[in-house]
Structure 1
Amino acid sequence: MAAKLTNSRKTPCELCPLRPLPHFREFTSEELDFVSDFKKGELTVDPGAIVLLEGARSAHLYTVLSGWAFRYKTLLDGRRQILNYVMPGDLVGLQGSITGEMQHSVEALSTVTLCVFERTQLHTLFSRYPSLAYDITWIAAREERILDEHLLSIGRRTAIERAAYLLAFLAQRAKALRMVEGRVVLPITQQHVADTLGLSIVHTNKTLKKLADRGAIVWRDRSCDVLDEEALKAVSGWEGLEEKSRPFI
């Protein structure tokens, strides 16, 4: 499945649909002018397509404008570990911009639209716009904090606690980004859950059935309806993400 690059900016930064959301901080006029020039186009990626490949070098980095994706690593025998999920406002490809090549891959879960930025302009951002440079540092630190929680979940939570945590985490993020209307529908399969939690597909199926029996979720063919986010938090012992306003590029 091929990604399609649109050289013209379909969505002007001034009219970005993410900017009005209270989840994100506002740009100053000077920052907005720079980001508008920094953006070189948009990339449309079909579900199942690879956005970035582990070991590859890319001249670009991206901000997710819409859609769902996930970051993962693969062992030599093909076993996959999903590291985290990518949603609107998230920065993708920064690792490759700093280290020279990607240490993980990124795959689209749904149709994804990405804002495309030239990696070579990062130096200008850091040298002339310290507030935006701080934003990138903040984004990287936040990703580390989330990965800490994911590692704790895999290492110490039981199977049902892991599953409840993951679904509550994704539901909270989707609601904050207004990616859902009414009920929360997560576009993931049981295989995605298994690859995130480090469980077999059989164990994952049995675990999700326990959550469904409690009325917390309804599992469908290629999605999960979250019916009771608070119940999922209670099962996992997770209090949720404490964020008022976060930056994005």
Structure 2
Amino acid sequence: MVEEGAQRPSRNPSRILVTGGSSGLGAALCRALVARGDQVVSADLNPPAEPVEGVEHLHLDVRSDDDWAAAVAWVEQHWGGLDVLHNNAGVAGGGRIDVAGLDEWQWITEINLFGVVRGTKAFVPMMKAAGSGLIVNTASLAGLVHPAGMGSYNAVKAAVVAFTETMGHELAEHGIRTAVVCPSYFRTPLVENMQGTDTAVGAVIGVLVAEAPLGPDEIAAEILEALDRGEELILPDEAARAAYGLKVGDRATYDQVMRKQAARLNAMG
């Protein structure tokens, strides 16, 4: 965090599109970006519950190629280009392998992974033409640390991490950078729309989210500061940094912790 009263480095305003910007982390990002002078459009399936002055709203279903084409057309018409694409839209889900159905896997994959892929494909030509750009993808600590009962969510978030790194290599020569955000649990309305037949997993996640120490505004602030520092893998909270550090630094202990968590989940039925 920047210390109170400290001077931030000067920066030019950016043109930024945030998917899933109507609630939760997306809305917090939009508020923070507008507050520091950026031009922001929130692209979301739903209108914002609390509109933010200075934030435009576009209807966008990340599963729709037509909606993505319309978003590109809007940006071209109103801004003439895009500096930052933040693929933030996502849904919560999960379930043990013998409980969750394949329809649940398909649902979460289409939104959390292919939504990111579609957005990137839509805007990369514009960024290549400009010779610059930044693509930020919201993944999750679940993309790096893989608790039991979350196979589908872990898999798609790990795929987002891998996709982001791949795009960073692929697009570097065109002046386009990438970054991936991997927060731990924070207070978010995302779980209110969580789908899945494994109710035990849903109950555990609901408690973890409700008892999380940080909210979306705090996570958004950490993300923006990390982006200003040029970080590519962003762990915006101490819980995420500690969990990933344990996996990297002490794999045996990490495995023990994960398997104890799996046993507790299985004991719930």
> Above 0.5 in TM-score?
no
User: Whose strand proportion is higher, 1 or 2?
Assistant: 1
User: Whose helix proportion is higher, 1 or 2?
Assistant: 2
When normalised by structure 2's length, the TM-score is 0.31
Structure number with greater CO (CA < 8 Å, separation at least 6) is 1
